[in-house]
């Protein structure tokens, strides 16, 4: 019976001199390589996953389920990866799950561990505060929010370290202001929010004497959205080489589908015979999108490309990436996977969606038309009507 659980320390691992594998461990390792190939992946490109399993089997053997915690701890080392090892062990029934593990939290820990050596301990302590594992925990945050905050905070410590600052206790308000200078608008507000959370938590934990971000305040002007020109939309569509990116662009620019809508579209939601696409939204009726030729063409091209490149995938989603197509947990694509190709051309799906709805609202003052066409809520539809016709619309005290 284990009274106190202590995680294994893999930081001193010497992977050049590993114990010999047992016959059962070697069979398991070979089965993992075969599993990778059956999923359409090249084993030569899995140079981080195979060594991770090799180290685990060499030290722990294959007679008992392998702890997920140890997979993640080894994967935090350079040149090691654990996601596909965890997926394989889970589907094969050889994984001892870590009830306290989370993929977003693991990514946050990885970001903290890749910071300059002088700044690694404070971010890890900060992760513990909103996650509720410190003596004085704060209001709990979702692991995805913790990862997002840490990703926004990652650049400033590197800049500070290059400027000679080796201790967060030496950070002043001027350093925070300099960290916010390279970004503007919502990006600056997001980074400021993350930095305030970081230093507030470190002060509560008494790792710093003062909070340099406490008095930082940013104001941004609220700009009404304006639709993009048609020639700009068509020009972008022609410059996108990937069929999946063209489909995402059209779904956002023509049918106002958000990144969340697109990432959760199921393969079965696309009906070729009726040229329709069902959009499922939590707590709302199913919204049906009627596809014109401009949308139907990239949809057909993407399905052909999807079948050609990922014939063995079991993902139920319409949009897949190289990672999600081979992930046995069958996750949806990330928002970054949809937005990154569009950003290279100066667009993002959220902005395209707003532009499309506003463009339609400029041609009508009927909110029911927007509700039927885009599946909006009455409040959202009225907001776009007011933005499109400010001279004819007055604020509705009931809707405000």
Residue 335 · residue 260 · CB < 8 Å: yes
Measuring CA to CA, which residue among 320, 256, 316, 263 is closest to residue 289? 256
User: Which parts of the chain register pLDDT below 50?
Assistant: 222-227, 397-400
What whole-number distance in Å separates Cα of residue 40 and Cα of residue 42?
7
Helices (H) and strands (E) in the chain, counts: 19, 5
Mapped to the 3 state alphabet, what secondary structure does 108-145 carry?
Answer: HHHHHHCCCHHHCHHHHHHHHHHHCCCCCCCCCCCHHH
Residue with tokens 């507000």: 189
Residue 202 · residue 208 · CB < 8 Å: yes
Residue with tokens 């202590």: 6
Residue 248 · residue 342 · CB < 8 Å: yes
Give the predicted TM-score (pTM) of the model. Answer: 0.57
């Amino acid at each position: 019976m284990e009274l106190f659980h202590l995680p294994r320390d893999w930081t001193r691992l010497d992977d050049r001199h590993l114990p010999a594998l047992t016959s059962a461990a070697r069979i398991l390792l070979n089965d993992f390589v075969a599993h990778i190939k059956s999923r359409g992946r090249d084993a030569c490109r899995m140079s981080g996953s195979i060594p991770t399993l090799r180290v685990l089997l060499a030290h722990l053997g294959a007679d008992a389920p392998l702890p997920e915690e140890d997979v993640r701890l080894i994967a935090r080392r350079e040149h090691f990866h654990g996601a596909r090892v965890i997926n394989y062990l889970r589907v094969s029934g050889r994984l001892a799950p870590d009830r306290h593990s989370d993929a977003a939290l693991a990514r946050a820990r990885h970001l903290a561990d890749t910071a300059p050596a002088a700044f690694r301990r404070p971010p890890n302590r900060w992760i513990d505060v909103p996650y509720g594992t410190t003596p004085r925990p704060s209001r709990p945050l979702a692991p995805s929010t913790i990862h997002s905050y840490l990703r926004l905070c990652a650049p400033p410590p590197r800049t500070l370290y290059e400027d000679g600052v080796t201790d967060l206790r030496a950070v002043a308000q001027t350093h925070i202001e300099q960290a916010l200078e390279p970004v503007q608008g919502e990006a600056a507000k997001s980074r400021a929010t993350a930095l305030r959370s970081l230093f507030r938590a470190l002060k509560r934990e008494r790792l710093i004497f003062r909070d340099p971000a406490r008095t930082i305040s940013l104001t941004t002007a609220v700009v009404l959205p304006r639709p993009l020109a048609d020639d700009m939309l068509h020009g972008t569509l022609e410059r996108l080489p990937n069929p999946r990116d063209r489909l995402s662009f059209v779904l956002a620019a023509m049918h106002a589908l958000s990144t969340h809508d697109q990432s959760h579209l199921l393969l079965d939601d696309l009906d070729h015979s009726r040229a329709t696409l069902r959009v499922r939204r939590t707590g709302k009726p199913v919204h049906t999108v009627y596809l014109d030729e401009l949308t139907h063409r990239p949809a057909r091209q993407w399905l052909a490309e999807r079948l050609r490149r990922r014939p063995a995938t079991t993902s139920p989603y319409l949009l897949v990436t190289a990672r999600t197509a081979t992930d046995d947990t069958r996750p949806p694509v990330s928002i970054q996977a949809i937005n990154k190709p569009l950003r290279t051309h100066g667009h993002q799906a959220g902005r395209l969606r707003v532009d499309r709805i506003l463009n339609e609202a400029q041609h009508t003052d009927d909110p029911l038309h927007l509700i039927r066409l885009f599946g909006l809520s009455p409040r959202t539809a009225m907001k776009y009507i007011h933005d499109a016709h400010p001279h004819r619309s007055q604020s509705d005290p009931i809707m405000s």
